Amino acid sequence: MRAVITVLGKDMVGILAKVSTQCAECGVNVLEVTQSVLQDLFAMIMLVDISKSTVPFQQLSDSLQKIGEGMGLTVHVMHEDIFQSMHRI
């Protein structure tokens, strides 16, 4: 099972480190990362493997959102099933 994590906000040192550290602490493996900095705005999309996660999906989402709030960022975690159901429409 996979999930997509998006992070948006003002660029600063440590965004990727904090998000990926939280993933590692939850047993979530980062498969791919793409990020862009447009002037002072940061955008990142991560594809992660949640099949061996040590926490429930909602707890992972909540913990990443809390990190984002502490840094003034917007963080969303979406299960891959959302994208599969969108494809079927």
Q: Which amino acid does the sequence have at 27?
A: G
Query: What tens digit of pLDDT does each residue of 52-70 get?
Result: 999 999 999 999 999 999 9
CB 5 within 8 A of CB 76: yes
pTM value is: 0.91
Query: What tens digit of pLDDT does each residue of 23-42 get?
Result: 999 999 999 999 999 999 99
DSSP 30-64: EEEEEEEEETTEEEEEEEEE-TT-SS-HHHHHHHH
